[in-house]
Amino acid sequence: MRVGLDFGTTNTTAAVYDGDKVTLIPLDPVAANHEVLRTALFITPEGERQIGRAAINAFTEGNVGREIIYERRSLGTLKQTYAEVGTIEEEIVGLVDVNSPGRLFQSLKTMLRDPSYVRTNVFGVEYTLEQLIAFILREIRRRIEAFLGTKVTALTVGRPVHYAATAEGDALAIQRMTNACALAGLDAVSFLPEPIAAAYAYAAYQREQRNVLVFDFGGGTLDVTVMAINGTERTVLATDGVPIGGDILDSKIVTGALTPYFGAGARLGPRKLPLPAVLLERLNDWQSILELHTPKILQVIDEAVRTGDKPQELQALRALVRENYGLLLYEAAERGKRELSSAPEATIAMHQGVINFDHRLPRFEFERLIGPEARAIAACTDRVVQAAGLEPEQIDVVLRTGGSSRIPKFVRLLSERFTAERLREQDPFTSVGAGLAIAAYDSALVEQR
């Protein structure tokens, strides 16, 4: 059986096509939508593994409010290449939380392009990036085969238009993903850019000649593709993309609107020194918050609580770091972002002990926070139309897919260029997987001829 797999930064879907209809495969029995699997991996000290929403739940339930015990351990190996010296590998040693109930991995897809990410130490066992991804893929394969009642013989996997800014980074990412698939027992693998897959899903039920722009805005990247569709003929005219995704927009909410609840602007001691910038800089990602989890930094935070002029907010910062509330903070920001797609205002709330706030975020304020990203996305959209050799009025259909494509700022951006009448929304989470399934089916027909 040939399967389409959209292995995303945030979410993963899988589907099959029989020439008539697409069937989405339930990958996550724990999630609210069984057909959308959160791309997450949780590993316990005993080596047990969970994926999807179960992985996030296990991390959250095991980390909140627990005591932290540090020991110095190996953290893995860093490989760097220098022009005059060559390639150097060095072991990274640091303090490790040995009382941790497990380690959570998210956004592994974004690491595929990073040559410095060689391997990581997980409770004394070293894993390569390919092995970590293979753990997820192997369980996905098992669930697909259990649902279909047959073996997966080939896989068509989605990929961004550009994994990286360089051809070398793209090639590295493809090779690593191929290796991860092989480790999971998936040897017959082909890749298709995700926006092209979304166009396949549209073209399967469209027989008229159309110039189609696909605006695929997911958790890790924005990809834009222009295709000419004429019956079963599909011609890619131009592609472009920028490394901006929904995760970055969540970060903009936290760093631009929520840091006052964690001590931003506080002054410390009789000299009224500012709060060390590193403390708030690390709030730009929930996993970066974990980097503050060191005895030295915790001492700095404790001193800030004792001497600062915003004790309540600084106590909230201490709880955020000590009690592992970073993931909950970012999930609250993500919920607020989603709410703003249908409401003019959202309330972002956290009530976890001393962390206690309800922040009203108007849509116009969110749009101000993401202004630089919106300008970069507008420029990318204009470039791809120009590269296709078309004028905006020659674009017949604009397909929006990916969760962030629902954000009103970007819907307006597209409407202003192409008119609202030409916009079409595909399922933001499953349309790419559906298109990949159709592409997998088509490739089987080609081989049979």
pTM for the full model? 0.83
Sequence-distant (6+) residues with CB within 8 A of 42 are 49, 50, 51, 54, 55, 56, 58, 59, 102, 103, 104, 105
Tokens 């027992």 correspond to: 185
Whether 242 and 296 have beta carbons less than 8 Å apart is answered as no
Which strand (E) or helix (H) includes residue 131?
helix 129-148
Q: Is 147 exposed, middle or buried (0-12, 13-18, 19+ CB in 10 A)?
A: middle
Q: What gap in Å lies between CA 245 and CA 30, rounded to an integer?
A: 25
3-state secondary structure of 141: helix
Vertex 14, ends 11 and 20: CA angle to 5°? 140
| Domains recognised in the chain with CATH numbers | 2-189 (3.30.420.40), 258-344 (no CATH)
3-state secondary structure of 33: coil
Q: What gap in Å lies between CA 233 and CA 362, rounded to an integer?
A: 45
Q: Which amino acid is it at 111?
A: M
Residue 312 gets the label, from left (phi > 0), alpha (psi -120 to 50) or beta, of: alpha
Comparing CA positions, the residue from 277, 278, 272, 260 lying closest to residue 314 is: 260
Long-range contacts from 289-292, C-beta under 8 angstroms, 24+ separation: 289/320, 289/321, 289/326, 289/329, 290/324, 290/326, 292/321
3-state secondary structure of 25: coil
- The CB density around residue 371, as the number of other CB atoms within 10 Å, is 11
Give, in order, the Cα–Cα distances in Å from 297 to each of 6, 70, 100, 317: 39, 13, 18, 12
Q: What is the pLDDT of residue 207?
A: 72
Q: Is 350 exposed, middle or buried (0-12, 13-18, 19+ CB in 10 A)?
A: buried
Secondary structure (DSSP) of 318-336: HHHHHTT-HHHHHHHHHHH
Q: What is the pLDDT of residue 270?
A: 93
Vertex 271, ends 266 and 276: CA angle to 5°? 45
Instruction: Report the relative pairing of strands 125-128 and 37-38 from DSSP bridges.
Output: unpaired
Q: What is the pLDDT of residue 445?
A: 53
Vertex 129, ends 124 and 135: CA angle to 5°? 80
Our CA dihedral for 188, 194, 200, 203, rounded to 10 degrees, sits at 180
The residue ranges of DSSP E strands in 84-183, in sequence order, are: 86-97, 103-106, 117-122, 125-128, 154-159
Sequence-distant (6+) residues with CB within 8 A of 220 are 8, 9, 10, 107, 109, 110, 160, 243, 245, 246, 247
Token pair of 142, please? 């098992």
- Could you read off the pLDDT tens digit of each residue along the chain, which spans 449 residues? 899 999 999 999 999 999 888 999 999 999 999 999 999 999 999 999 999 999 999 988 887 666 566 666 665 666 666 666 677 777 766 666 666 788 999 989 988 988 888 888 888 899 999 999 999 999 999 999 999 999 999 999 999 888 877 888 889 999 999 999 999 999 899 999 998 898 888 887 777 889 999 999 988 889 999 999 887 778 899 999 888 999 999 999 999 999 999 999 999 999 999 999 999 999 999 989 988 888 889 999 999 999 999 999 999 999 999 888 999 999 999 999 999 999 999 999 999 999 999 999 999 999 999 999 999 999 999 999 999 999 999 999 999 998 899 999 999 999 999 999 999 998 888 889 999 999 998 876 545 54
